[in-house]
Amino acid sequence: MNSITPALIDYWQKLPARSTASRRRSLEEARRRVDAGERGADTLVPYALADCDEDVVFAATAAYVGVIRDAGDRNAAAHDAAEWVRRGLAINRGAVFAALLALGDEGVNERLLPLRLALSAEEVATVCRRAARRPCERSRAFLHEWNELLSVESTTCERSHVAASLGIGDARVA
């Protein structure tokens, strides 16, 4: 059994009885403990994988990658989080993707390139909502390229989300 499995099982068992506000407070406490060196960054993984709340998942993913100071370890953490999206391990893949995109890191964005077309329309909406809140130059460039890629009629809904996050219209969306 993977070392994270018991923590995930525990999180899922407690999830239905806990309010979103309670889970957010719990995440903040976990982040504080990780920042203080009392716990490892892996303490944040259950929040990122097992929660459905966009804010909890986004914050947990950003913290998981962000608390690591060593560049190599941080790169490995970003790779792990991208794998959560690719393998469908996170309940809210859109929020994980959005947190990674918000890093504004070219290497991380390269990992996200092949994953963007595997997201559902709802997940794309989550990514775009988050990207519109805190746009950075690299994220906007990523979204512009994504918008161009989504020129196929079958992706009209996804393209409208990406175009809206960029503040541009899409003439084909009625």
| Tens-digit pLDDT profile for residues 64-107 | 998 877 888 889 999 999 999 999 999 999 999 999 999 999 99
Residue 17 lies in a domain: yes
Residue 171 lies in a domain: no
Residue 66 lies in a domain: yes
- Please give the residue range of the domain that contains residue 98: 5-123
Residue 155 lies in a domain: no
Number of folded domains in the chain? 1
Greatest CA separation for the chain: 53
pTM over 0.85: yes
H or E element: which one contains 115?
Answer: none
Residue 174 lies in a domain: no
Question: Is 147 in contact with 110 (CB distance < 8 Å)?
Answer: no
Residue 116 lies in a domain: yes
Select from 166, 90, 150 the least CA-distant residue to 123.
90
Residue 71 lies in a domain: yes
